[in-house]
Structure 1
Amino acid sequence: MKDHIRRRWLQGLAIAAGVALALIGVRFGLMPRSAARFFGIDTPPDPAHLHYVVAVRDIWLGVLIIAFACWRDWRALALWLGLGAVICFADALIVAHATAWLGSIAFHMASGIYCAVLGFACWREHRRETAA
């Protein structure tokens, strides 16, 4: 695959991850109970403050990866996505322990795999650029 096409794909996939994460954050801010259920955790009647913390965290992390992708900072993307994969797998373990909802566990595992694969691809792109 030509370099510019590969880079565009990596950039687009990273931006998609950022948009998805930011939208998850917006959902946690607007509909905390529904978002928590989709995440895979039961919620007490009024845990809104914790959900607002999650909302703000997800929004700024989503915007951060979008910025890294727009700047084509492959090393920063690789780091962000690699750490993101760890968080996704940890979230899957939390959900497995809390509710064992298979759909939510699968969502977190798939997100972790997506981040890991894309992070590895971004790292390879960084290595290609520094070798050139």
Structure 2
Amino acid sequence: GEDPDTTGLIVSALLAVGEDESSESVRKALEYFRSEQNDDGGFSSLGSNSATDDWAIMALNGAGEAPEGWRRRSGDPLSHLASLQKEDGSIWWKADSEGSSFEWTALGIVAMSGEAIPPDLP
């Protein structure tokens, strides 16, 4: 992958159109995510941030991987993403960033719900 965001988006798209979770492409993407995961549990693209976490977690969800099983020294992907959520429910890009965006919050909701893109809605 070029970066975890793009890799997460591509894996999500492949899975949405029927790529097998155990395919070589998906397996290599998961290996890449492991190499890009930080000690705080988040994924690295300009440091751990919610946008990268969102795409990586949704790809993990789609591939049948439990993000909680991806624990690093001080957290897993979900705990890192949750650490960026504020009292009003919005999700900031980084803990020290000012404000949120609709995209980070919307994708974070999908990621934290255990779903992938597109979500499996009733």
Q: TM-score when scaled to structure 2?
A: 0.32
Q: TM-score when scaled to structure 1?
A: 0.31
Higher-Rg member (1/2): 1
